[in-house]
Structure 1
Amino acid sequence: MSPGEGETDIRRVCARLRSATTRAELAEVLYREVSGYSLFDLQALRGRVERDLRSLPAGYRQRLYPRVMEQLFDTHHALISTARRGDLDALDEPLTGQFQEFCGMVEKTCLTLESDPRLSLLYYLLAAFNLFVLDRPGHPVGTPFPGGFEVEVRNGEYVCPVREKADDVENALCPYCPAKQSDT
């Protein structure tokens, strides 16, 4: 794919995302877009994550890796199986106001990447399913963070130890995450 084709594809996908007004519509768009990726692409994304994690301390990396794989593979499976079963009607609620901001962040981030923006787009498509369709955190429950804290469910609400601390990271999922800041 030439650089111009990749840019056009990213803009096209983000425009399709922006056209969704309900969780069900978004799930359908995400299903169509994610279905265009192969299992090889999903494995390539896994490989990129593994390379990114190499610089972390071994103990932390060993606790984090399974949660990141859950974030990718379980979300992919949930998206595909939900759409194929036709379970989208129950999701006919309007999208949050943050969704359009999310689409802008994804487009800007993917258009400025030099190294395979298509894989980054896949990551964000999967994240959108968790954040905006399922109303789940971007990182699965149990995802560890430095200091021994992790994403949890307390009294039926998702809580995260870094929710408010990561808002200043330009391409982070945190500003769109339904998790609340934990008190620990």
Structure 2
Amino acid sequence: MPSEQKIEIIAIRLSKATNKGELGIIISEEILNYSVFELQVIGGRLNLEIASLPSPYKKRVKPYFIEQVFGAYHELLRQYRSGTFQHLKNKIHDHDTFISYCQMIPEGCTAWDETTWKNPEIWNPRHRLFYYLIAAFTMFIMDKPGHPVGTPFPGGLTVEKKGNDYLCPIRDKEKDVFFSICNYCPAKQSGE
């Protein structure tokens, strides 16, 4: 079955989760299907994206991008292996946004021109799916912003937590990019 069809099936499976625990189990089962080689490709791609950023910004943002992807990956698997998700019956907040997110995933995975990257033959939509699965864990199970607190953006602004609210300087700036996780993020637009 072509990668795009598998991604559609996975997105539908995600959308059928009735609570956070069930969603955590589904995401974990899908994440566990990634090989060590695929994780290396994903990490290599992340490093290439960071390397393309201007200095000194790339040095400041690198640990946050790694935390966003691989920190969340390790936390997801820790919770899965400890049995946390089996006991997590909380409802998914903003279910309509969650369903929209699931519907966006298949097209979001194929919206990029991968031929401009070094070694495009080893990169495929499944690798982008990893990013969306991890973001789903962060935003819809953990109820945290897609970008970790402290993530710096050009201009000196950062993702912040004030009380129970998360504030992001770019939250509402990605509206025209349908596949951006910002459109589904629980953070609120900060008042710059």
Q: Same fold (TM over 0.5)?
A: yes
Could you tell me which residue of structure 1 aligns to residue 55 of structure 2? 58
Corresponding residue to 1:36 among 33, 38, 44: 33
**Distance (Å, rounded) in 2 between the aligned partners of 1:149 and 1:38:** 36
Could you tell me which residue of structure 1 aligns to residue 13 of structure 2? 16
Letter in structure 2 aligned against 1:107: P
**Distance (Å, rounded) in 1 between the aligned partners of 2:151 and 2:87:** 28
| CA shift for structure 1 position 40 | 2.6
Corresponding residue to 2:145 among 120, 137, 143: 137
Q: CA RMSD in A?
A: 1.5
**Distance (Å, rounded) in 1 between the aligned partners of 2:178 and 2:48:** 21
**Distance (Å, rounded) in 2 between the aligned partners of 1:157 and 1:39:** 36
1:176 aligns with 2:184: yes
Structure 2: gaps of 5 or more residues: 115-123
| CA shift for structure 1 position 20 | 0.9
1:18-167 superposed matches below 5 A: 18-95=15-92, 96-113=95-112, 115=114, 116-167=124-175
**Distance (Å, rounded) in 1 between the aligned partners of 2:25 and 2:136:** 12
| CA shift for structure 1 position 54 | 2.8
Could you tell me which residue of structure 1 aligns to residue 118 of structure 2? none
String of CA shifts for 1:1-47, please: whole Å, max 9, x gaps. xxx52122112211211111211111010010001012332221121
| CA shift for structure 1 position 89 | 4.5
**Distance (Å, rounded) in 2 between the aligned partners of 1:112 and 1:71:** 21
SS of residue in 1 equivalent to 2:78: helix
**Distance (Å, rounded) in 2 between the aligned partners of 1:89 and 1:14:** 21
Which stretches of structure 1, 4 residues or more, deviate above 4 A after TM superposition? Answer: none
| CA shift for structure 1 position 112 | 4.2
**Distance (Å, rounded) in 2 between the aligned partners of 1:24 and 1:160:** 27
**Distance (Å, rounded) in 1 between the aligned partners of 2:157 and 2:14:** 33
Structure 1: gaps of 5 or more residues: none
SS of residue in 2 equivalent to 1:135: coil
Check conservation: 1:144, 1:150, Cα contact below 8 A.
yes
